Amino acid sequence: MAEVVLEVQDLKVEFDTYGGVIKAVRGVSFNAYKGKTLAIVGESGCGKSVSVQAVMGLIPVPPGRVTSGIVKLRGNNILGLSHSEMNKVRGKEIGMIFQDPMTSLNPTMTVGKQITETLSVHEGIGRGREAKKRAIDLLEKVHIPEAANRVRHYPFQFSGGMRQRVMIAMAIACKPSILIADEPTTALDVTIQAQILHLLKDLQRENEMSLILITHDLGVVAQMADEVNVMYAGRIIEFGPVDDIYYRSQHPYTIGLRAAMPSSEEGAKRKLQPIEGSPPDLFHPPIGCGYFDRCPYAMKICESNEPEPFLVGNNHYSRCWLHHQRSQTKLADFIKQDTKIYKNNEIMS
Amino acid sequence: MHFVPGDPISGNKAMSIEIRKNLEKKYGLDQPVLKQYLYFLGNMAQGDFGISFTQQNRSVNDIIESHFPVSAGLGILALIFATAGGVLWGTLAALYRGKVSDQLIMFGVILGISVPSFVFAALGQFLLTELNKYFGYTILPVAGWGSILHMLLPALVLGLGTMAFLTRLMRSSLLEVVNQDYIRTAKAKGLNSFRIFFAHELRNGILPVVTYLGPAIAFLTTGGFVVETVFAIPGLGRYFVQATQQLDYTVIMGLTVFYGAFLVGMVVLVDILYGFIDPRISLAKS
């Protein structure tokens, strides 16, 4: 296995709100490897963005607070560093791009200046010709045509896809070892999405970056990821290599997600099966499994006992009591059901 | 204006009918109102607002020329006070949102907006007198006109209301800006909060303040009647009030048109200025 660049252990994040304390992230652990892509998938509000923002130290405090966890960047804990120490990590070691390129760039500053800002903070390159040249190089690297002209332009003169490219240029300016992409393509249309993903892959290969990709688009995951974390209600409920997550999904939630995905096969007449119900209230997180209320295979034990991650394959874990040896008969039914989904859902073959 | 009982001449001491007739003839007041108006328009098109009815041998242009600079100087100084203070206090309030200093500033804002300027003017004069007495010499003159020192207190008093308003504007605008996505981006780039404030927050936060500057300039340079009266400043405002009381038709008309033109000019100026601060709004180039 490649070198571990980022190690997150037992991360917990809470937010104080008028309605009480929301436990948004309830113990998340994952590793990011050099040159590999880790995808974090899950529905809105499951804590995927909050987890990476906690890693970056971008959780607004108050109302947010990180209550426990270790985040190791190449072996050194970076969680709870002072602002000035963290500023040496952000932008230099870990780059980040955000969901909405329309609002993520400062409207009153030229894109060139916004790019060189990163360079001047981390590499001491000021405003001179060298900074401008670096900005042009970076814009060329993200395939912005007429880069020499474009550095002088303002964000409003760029289209959405172009702005996301500018964001990427900013994030990779200092050649970070980790790039966190928080739903980088959600706000873009499909053709632009493909281009941006392609660009990210190229840049990753070139700089041997570790890419942490947050998305709720399973298609994007299949295309990009090496490993996948499936998050639900503030926890990672299934983790594994991308093929295992797709072809040999083990957690009922992952299987439910797959059944809710449209097939691209021509003439397929399968009805999409939604997952009934809604995620648990994180003001009062469930004592047992977070998926208990919606799970078609829920057992008595699930209600008040939190399942540990069970090893279900090579480097493939699932947090579900079905994998416990005492629930094997139930598991057999479950697998039978699952094979039916496989048969119906030809997209996987 | 002509419906108001009396006319400019009747304000003078008793006069015989002959003298009155002569005066009316001299100033054209014996003509029909419509004709007077057309006459006024014709003169105005040539840049002449006519002569004052009540002040001997003074034309309206003359009055504007000699007294507008006084009002303008006072207004601009007041504007500088108001803008600098508004931006500074607004920023402080936003930085310490919810803390005691924020609440104190916002309390001051409410005072500044709701207490009329003549109260501040009188209070300011009183304080200054006491201070001058205490130190035994004149730190700042209490009233009158002449040097920049005479301007300081009236300008501050005149600018207080606008300063309070701008403080509130700046505070809310900054609070909106700090929650914007691009501030998060700036943080993710590893900028320190000092740099984020000056490079990203201030410029975006100040936009609404600039928008308000146009009306503020007009308000401050023309709206100083009360302050000018209290501090005995020979500004244009005083003449405006005087002219209204004496029904000095030409002066009233001339000053009104002048103020109107000035207001429009300032708003246009600020609109142009806006283009420099916000690149999204700039003159279209082919």
pLDDT tens by residue, A296-313 = 777 777 888 888 888 888
Residue B272 in any domain: the answer is yes
Q: Do B278 and A92 touch (CB under 8 A)?
A: no
Instruction: Give pLDDT tens digits for A44-83.
Output: 878 888 888 888 888 887 788 888 888 888 888 888 778 8
CA distance A313 to A311: 6
pLDDT of residue A1: 59
Instruction: Give pLDDT tens digits for A150-173.
Output: 888 888 888 888 888 888 888 888
Question: DSSP string of A315-333?
Answer: TEEE--GGGSGGGHHHHHH
CA–chain centroid gap for A62, Å, is 24
Q: Which residues pair with A25 in a beta bridge?
A: A13
Taking alpha carbons only, the member of B199, B217, B239, B249 closest to residue B83 is B217
Residue B25 in any domain: the answer is no
pLDDT of residue A346: 45
Ranges A116-130, A238-252, B130-144, B223-237, most confident: A238-252
Mean pLDDT of A137-143: 86
Give A118 to chain B, closest Cα distance, Å: 6
> Measured on CA atoms in the order A55, A58, A64, A65, is the torsion positive or negative?
positive
Q: Do B188 and A90 touch (CB under 8 A)?
A: yes
Number of domains in chain B: 1
A124 touches B: beta carbon within 8 Å? no
A170 touches B: beta carbon within 8 Å? yes
Residue B29 has pLDDT above 80, yes or no: no
Mean pLDDT of B8-33: 72
Give B199 to chain A, closest Cα distance, Å: 9
Mean pLDDT of B100-114: 90
**In the predicted model, what is the mean pLDDT of chain B?**
81
CATH number at residue B179: 1.10.3720.10
Least confident of A114-128, A219-233, A246-260, A330-344: A330-344
In degrees, rounded to 5, the angle at the alpha carbon of residue A302 between the alpha carbons of residues A299 and A305 is 145
Interface with A, mutate which of B173, B187, B194, B209 (most A CBs under 10 A): B187
Question: DSSP string of A230-287?
Answer: EEETTEEEEEEEHHHHHHS--SHHHHHHHHTSPP-STT--PPP-PPPS-PPPTTS--S
Instruction: Give pLDDT tens digits for B150-173.
Output: 778 888 888 888 899 999 999 999
Within 8 A by CB and 6+ apart from A313, the residues are: A240, A244, A248, A250
Mean pLDDT of B40-59: 77
Antiparallel, parallel or unpaired: β A20-33 and A4-17: antiparallel
Residue A340 has pLDDT above 80, yes or no: no
Residue A126 has pLDDT above 80, yes or no: no
Instruction: Give pLDDT tens digits for A174-214.
Output: 888 889 988 888 878 888 888 888 888 888 888 888 899 99
Give A279 to chain B, closest Cα distance, Å: 27
Least confident of A110-124, A126-140, B8-22, B218-232: B8-22
In this structure, which long-range contacts are made by residues A293-299, counting pairs with CB atoms below 8 Å and at least 24 apart in sequence? A294/A253, A294/A256, A295/A252, A295/A253, A296/A252, A296/A337, A297/A252, A297/A322, A297/A330, A297/A333, A297/A334, A299/A327, A299/A330
pLDDT of residue A280: 80
CA–chain centroid gap for B79, Å, is 8
Confidence of residue B286 (pLDDT cuts 50, 70, 90): very low
Give A60 to chain B, closest Cα distance, Å: 10
Residue A347 has pLDDT above 60, yes or no: no
Q: Which residues pair with A66 in a beta bridge?
A: A13
Instruction: Give pLDDT tens digits for A232-291.
Output: 888 888 888 888 888 887 888 888 887 777 766 666 666 777 777 778 887 888 888 888
Residue B12 in any domain: the answer is no
Residue B6 in any domain: the answer is no
Interface with A, mutate which of B189, B196, B273 (most A CBs under 10 A): B189
Residue B270 in any domain: the answer is yes
Q: Which residue is listed with tokens 């926890």?
A: A235
CA distance B165 to B151: 22
Phi-psi region of B18 (alpha: psi -120 to 50; beta: other; left: phi over 0): alpha
Tell me which chain B residues have a C-beta less than 8 angstroms from the C-beta of A87. 190-192
Q: Which residue is listed with tokens 């100083």?
A: B224
Mean pLDDT of B208-232: 80
Confidence of residue B282 (pLDDT cuts 50, 70, 90): low
Residue B266 has pLDDT above 60, yes or no: yes
**In the predicted model, what is the mean pLDDT of chain A?**
82
ipTM, 2 decimals?
0.79
For residue B122, give its domain range: 69-277
pLDDT of residue B11: 60
User: Other CB atoms closer than 10 Å to residue B202's CB: what's the count?
Assistant: 16
Q: Do A117 and B193 touch (CB under 8 A)?
A: no
Mean pLDDT of B186-208: 84
Least confident of A92-101, A329-338, B225-234: A329-338
Q: Do A104 and B181 touch (CB under 8 A)?
A: yes
Give A269 to chain B, closest Cα distance, Å: 42
Single-letter amino acid code for the residue at B255: L
In Å, what is the CA distance from B256 to each residue of A273, B86, B251, B260, B265?
73, 29, 8, 6, 14
Token pair, residue B14, equals: 């008793």
Within 8 A by CB and 6+ apart from A326, the residues are: none
User: Other CB atoms closer than 10 Å to residue A308's CB: what's the count?
Assistant: 11
Chain A 188-247, CB below 8 Å of chain B: which residues?
A: none
Count CA atoms within 13 Å of residue B161 on its CB side: 19
Q: What are the residues of chain B with a beta carbon less than 8 Å away from any beta carbon of chain A?
A: 180-182, 184-193, 195, 199-200, 203-204, 277-280
DSSP state of A3: P
Confidence of residue A349 (pLDDT cuts 50, 70, 90): very low
CA distance A39 to A30: 11
Let me know: does B191 contact A117? Beta carbons within 8 Å.
yes
SS3 of residue A144 by DSSP:
coil
In degrees, rounded to 5, the angle at the alpha carbon of residue A114 between the alpha carbons of residues A109 and A115 is 150
Antiparallel, parallel or unpaired: β A178-182 and A94-97: parallel
DSSP state of A288: S
Residue B284 has pLDDT above 70, yes or no: no
Q: Do A107 and B280 touch (CB under 8 A)?
A: yes
CA distance B27 to B50: 10
pLDDT of residue A261: 77
CA distance A105 to A103: 6
A61 touches B: beta carbon within 8 Å? no
Domains of chain A (ranges; CATH) run: 4-229 (3.40.50.300), 233-263+279-348 (no CATH)
pLDDT of residue B107: 92
Pick the more confident residue, A331 or B72.
Answer: B72
pLDDT of residue B104: 92
pLDDT of residue A348: 41
Give B170 to chain A, closest Cα distance, Å: 17
